[in-house]
Chains A and B, each alone.
Chain A
Amino acid sequence: MSVSEIKRVNVKNMPDEEYFYGHKACPGCGASLAVRLALKVIGEKSYSVLPAGCMAAVGFIYPQMAFRTNAMISTFPGTASLLSGIAVGAKALGIEDFYAVGFAGDGGTADIGIQALSGSIDRNDRIIYICYDNEAYMNTGIQKSGLTPFGTRTTTTPAGRNLPGAITHKKNLFEIIAAHGIEYAAVASIGYPVDFMNKVNRAKHCRGTSFIHVYASCPTGWGIPENTSIAIAKEAVDCGLWILAEYEKGEFTITRKPKTFSPVADYLNKQGRFRHLEDEQVEEITKHRDETWDRVLKTWKLKST
């Protein structure tokens, strides 16, 4: 099936089936929404793999199981390798109609899990890897990960007189993954759920490895009201800090380019994790955003709408 033939998911034809419910996630949890929406698209012929982390902690405590589909907790570094074992095992057993899908956090993906993920992409194993990015180790209590943005206050990057919180920018995960020459990779946000679901749907039609990096707000870790979880996930895109994009056949495509960016300061000031920032640091974040856009606009395509 060619990419253009893939039927698009919309609000009307979105599957009613639920495969992830009864879990103990915090109110407003973006990660659990990402899992729920992705499984709606992927369906029941699936094996989900989750490492030790938030989704394992809220969905997998015996005897209260929250997955209706097959699901398994992997070792922390082993999301991709366990998925690969399942996918290759399925091939060996002659099972053709299946989806092996992983849901790992930012730390589980960009830090401890990146080696195994790199291996899976290298082998082009038939897995869908979804990284829900809440920008810190939330399950252990909000510690800095490789995807924690500059200026974030976490429990291991305290903001004080000497330091502004995290002192490095996020690792460029999407382009690291794309540099492998992966079959399909995308960046999404739970603030744009239909876009996210269509990216999952695109991944579902891959014969090799696919990867989706989804922004997943965390009211508990970010210091935001739980009923603003979706709004902040939209605003991250609208202020230009989170670029919705796709990578396929060696080409990058921006899938949503805000006409004008909403103010970065507004986005930051709504969140407890950034509220300590001085003007100077807000400028640094804005400068980093502008440099990133300048760079990508030179080489990435814009999606025609």
Chain B
Amino acid sequence: MVAEKLFISGNDAVAMGARLARPQVISAYPITPQTIVVERLSEMVEDGSLKAEFMHVESEHSAISAAMGASAIGARAFTATSSQGLLYMAEGLYYAAGGRFPIVMMNANRSLALPWSIYGDQSDSLSQLNSGWIQVYVEDAQEVLDMVIQAYRIAENPAVLTPFMVNLDGFILTHTYEPVSIPDQAKVDEFLPPFSTPNKMSFEKPMSMGMVTTPMDNLEYKFQQNKAILDSVPVIEEVDAEYAKMFGRKYGGLVEQYRCDEAEVLLVTLGSVTGTARVVVDQMRNEGKPVGLLKVRYMRPFPTELVATVCSKARRVGIVDKDISFGYEGTLFTNVNSALTTLENPPRTFNFICGMGGRDVSKENIREMFSRILEDSSSKLPDRVQFVGMKVSTDERK
């Protein structure tokens, strides 16, 4: 049987992926550009095509809190948010991770105020890297649908039991229509069995959950939480392989390499900008330029070894960040650089800050990044951290 193919938006793909994963409780609060996900899921519950309870919570804080409540008695829970909403639920993010509740959440990557902006960048989710959630970043609508389904398999694995955040770029992905292949429900059911967890309250086995600890016990809790995310690495790879076997799409696990062989200069990307970068890599390869692309899919667990291995063969590496830790550098840059400290002779790295607040990152911008670090003369190399696509010159020497 040929899989059904529909022309839908990224948000539609999230909702359809969620329906295929059969969540039992959905608690969500609307926020641009995630809103359509909430609308679609409500429609699916209303028309009976999704057998779930839809909770109209009054805030994102309650959205995550209610999702924890449902998960704490063994119900599969789904929520979705973006930007300010993600920050409003920040307390609950840490709480859900510490409680080991395998909730799956879609986050539409969007800028953070001030200044207010409804448009995309990745400042929101990257600010929550320490919250204890697994974080994946997707490149298109098909990947987001597939990842919502995979997310439950990974999060609910008994060795993992960790909440899972699926990130897609606001508007660029949430509102763009693409052809998406919709898996067959029966096959998804086979791939993703009903949720079953030992970590729940029941009348047969009453349980106290959400402990208070003294300094005597706290460190061991945190050790286990860290270990669970590290232990998700082989699970992520197995699930990717099994998904490929059943549905014909493979994403490569923690990272995807694109024309990295014999590449002297690499760009490292996260999310939708990868698609633009692929086109530029193809063009520049045709021109004989030794360029390649490393798409980081998972920020947590971070692919330390893979990043180091792939980058070790390059002379220079540019890291593309749609965020900045003010007074410092982009977060992807910090993480990649840390991975490279495992190498004896690490390549030189540069950070390109771009796409903030929805500023378009064009093919020309990507080409400019490559060109700047392809430079033979090291005196002409750019600053370590630089903004790309600015309207004004920031070079005070000019």
Contact = CB atoms under 8 A, between A and B. Distances in A.
Interface stretch (B157-165, B204-212, B243-251, B347-355): B204-212
A84 B56 CA distance: 11
Contact of A61 (B53, B75, B202, B214): B214
B398 to A, nearest CB: 51
A61 B201 contact: no
A122 B59 CA distance: 13
B236 to A, nearest CB: 27
A62 B57 contact: no
A85 interface: yes
B213 to A, nearest CB: 5
Contacts, number: 146
Interface in A85-107: 85-93, 95, 98
B91 interface: yes
B55 A85 contact: yes
A78 B317 CA distance: 45
B110 interface: no
Contacts of A75: 61, 65, 91-92, 95
Interface string A32-64: 000000000000110101000000110011110
B307 interface: no
B210 A70 contact: no
Given A83-B69, A93-B74, A116 B58 contact: yes
Interface in B50-97: 52-53, 55-59, 61-62, 65-75, 77, 91-92, 95
Contacts of A119: 57-59, 62
A169 interface: no
Interface residues of B, number: 40
Interface in A108-146: 115-116, 118-119, 122-123
Contact of A86 (B69, B95, B206, B208): B69
Contacts of A67: 206, 208
Contact of A123 (B25, B56, B201, B210): B56
A70 B206 CA distance: 5
A239 interface: no
Nearest to A127: B69
B287 interface: no
Nearest to A93: B75
A229 B92 CA distance: 36
B205 to A, nearest CB: 9
A71 to B, nearest CB: 5
A24 to B, nearest CB: 11
B61 A78 contact: yes
A152 interface: no
A99 B168 CA distance: 39
B396 interface: no
A68 interface: yes
Nearest to B51: A92
Nearest to A118: B58
B350 to A, nearest CB: 41
A45 B203 contact: yes
B217 interface: yes
Given A85-B25, A119-B57, A44 B203 contact: yes
A61 B212 contact: yes
B142 interface: no
B195 to A, nearest CB: 10
B212 A86 contact: no
A56 B65 CA distance: 17
Given A86-B73, A115-B59, 10 more contacts: A44-B203, A47-B73, A70-B209, A77-B61, A80-B62, A88-B66, A89-B24, A89-B74, A119-B58, A119-B59
16 contacts: A49-B69, A61-B214, A62-B213, A72-B201, A73-B209, A74-B210, A78-B62, A81-B61, A84-B66, A86-B69, A86-B73, A88-B27, A89-B72, A89-B73, A92-B25, A93-B73
Give the top 6 A-B pairs by smallest Cβ distance, nearest first: A85-B69, A89-B70, A85-B66, A119-B58, A81-B62, A81-B65
